[in-house]
A and B are shown apart, each in its own frame.
Chain A
């Protein structure tokens, strides 16, 4: 079992809809959670980070964390074709300079 699991997709949503991306992790000690967006051939770009249980909103993006269920999600409201990319969930076990473990990513396609 991978440490960080994501549905590889592709997840297709119509323009203007809400895209919901999910991620589960195996290490209960994980404390920091990140969502990165990666366009093909480009580097990962940080979208959101979340440390505490609950929701965190930033513009059209909302990250949700449930440590009891070891589950983190990303909601994208009013999806745009430019949101079409691979979304990587990343988890790090503790503070400081620990490595980040990535999920395999979910490919999102927003259909105009």
Chain B
């Protein structure tokens, strides 16, 4: 069965420092991978996706993610964190066979001023 894991419930980083939010996945076949962000009392907003091609994917708000097939990871990164990046981040994988989108448990990012 398809699954994603976000091993950290919370990540704290100082403003201006680089940030990484981790995600690993388990799929059969080629993975379709996504990152979403959720601000308080809001819906999930799409950040970026990997379908095929370049392993480094660039997305909204300066975020990027690196697809690593050998490590089955799709970590979200940003070179310089902003306080406004503080939110809940979800990694997701699409099950190509059933069209389900499976979400991780979420990682709360806190950027400290």
Q: Do A and B bind each other?
A: no
